[in-house]
Amino acid sequence: MKARIALNYKQLPIEKIPVSPQDRAEVLRVSGQPCAPVLVHGDHVIFYSGSILRYLDANSRRTPSLFSSDSATLGEMEEWELFVRHDLAKPVQSIFRQFLAEKKDPSEPGRASMFLNDLTGRIEDVLAKRKWRVGDTMTAADVSAAPFVFYGMLPPGADAASIPRFFSERLMLGENRGSTRDWVTRVMFYDRP
């Protein structure tokens, strides 16, 4: 999601090649490692969404920037990226592990939802003062975090066997997160095929 959001925000053309989560042979062949997304740009192969965001910014300077040339602002953005990797990703990872588990823990969705709601309190506090997490425009700080919160906002009704439906029934953002919901909607606007 993060790579798609960045590419669409920067209005960069892309040829998307879907890869099955069960068959990583093509990803391994192209990048030498099993994780997606992978960006192939000429002779350059970049994997990991954070690296892709940085690559896009460095190589598409005439498009809207996702990072800052100001070191203090860049430091704040990197703090948010760490928050996402070390904290905000945990409730989503917890529910995804439940999706893969043969035996589901019925108490895990409640714990994950409570944790997500607690973590988004920090986001809600920032959004009470400004429209974006860092600065006056969407940045990598927004692109990195919004997809994780989005999993707690999925509407019910997807295919019964789908991952989105599993999440929509188990991970809930909770009440009193209006600014967070609006922010996620603004960022996810750019998650288009």
Distance CA 10, CA 44 (A): 19
The b-or-e profile of 111-130 (16+ CB within 10 A means b, else e) is ebbebbbebbeebbebbeee
User: Is 140 in contact with 48 (CB distance < 8 Å)?
Assistant: no
- pLDDT tens, the chain, 193 aa long: 999 999 999 999 988 888 877 788 888 989 999 888 999 999 999 999 999 999 999 999 999 999 999 999 999 999 999 999 999 999 999 999 999 899 999 999 999 999 999 999 999 999 999 999 998 999 999 999 999 999 999 887 666 668 888 899 999 998 899 999 999 999 999 998 7
Ranges in the chain annotated CATH 1.20.1050.10: 71-188
Q: Under CATH, what is the fold of the domain 71-188?
A: Glutathione S-transferase Yfyf (Class Pi); Chain A, domain 2 (1.20.1050)
With the CA atoms of 52, 11, 134 and 129 taken in that order, what torsion angle do they form, in degrees rounded to the nearest 10?
-150
Indicate the pTM of the whole model. Answer: 0.90
Report which of 105, 84, 85, 87 is spatially closest to residue 95, judged by C-alpha positions: 105
